[in-house]
Amino acid sequence: MKVAITYIVLICAATLLSAQSKVNRFLEPSDTLNVSRRNAVLISEVSLASAALIGLDRLWYADYPRSKFKTINDSGEWLQMDKLGHVFTSYQFGRLTANTLSWSGVSRKQQLVYGTTLGLGFLTAVEVMDGFSAEWGFSWYDMAANALGSGLFVGQELLWEEQRILLKYSFHQTRFAKQRPDKLGNGLAEELLKDYNGQTYWLSANMNSFLKTDYLPDWLNLAFGYGADGMLTGETNDPLYLNQDRIRQYYLSLDIDLSRIKTKSHLLKTIFDILNVIKVPFPALELNSKGRLKMHYIYY
Task: Name the residue ranges covered by the structural domains of the chain.
Answer: 35-163, 166-300
Determine the Cα–Cα distance for residues 13 and 53; give it in Å rounded to an integer.
43
203 SS3 class: strand
- Beta carbons within 8 Å of 78's beta carbon, 6+ residues apart: 196, 228, 231, 234
Q: Is pLDDT of 178 > 90?
A: yes
b/e map 78-117, b = 16+ CB within 10 Å: bbbbbbbbbbbbbbbbbbbbbbbbbbbebeeeebbebbbe
Q: pLDDT grade, residue 7 (50/70/90)?
A: very low
Q: Tally Cβ neighbours within 10 Å of residue 253.
A: 25
Q: Strand, coil or helix: what is 202?
A: strand
CB 29, CB 273: distance < 8 Å: no
Residue 23 confidence (pLDDT)? 62
The three-point CA angle 30-34-39 to 5° equals 125
Identify residue 94 by its one-letter amino acid code.
Answer: G
| pTM of the predicted structure, to 2 decimals | 0.88
Of the spans 3-7, 48-52, 129-133, 205-209, which averages the highest pLDDT?
Answer: 205-209
Per-residue model confidence (pLDDT) at position 106: 83
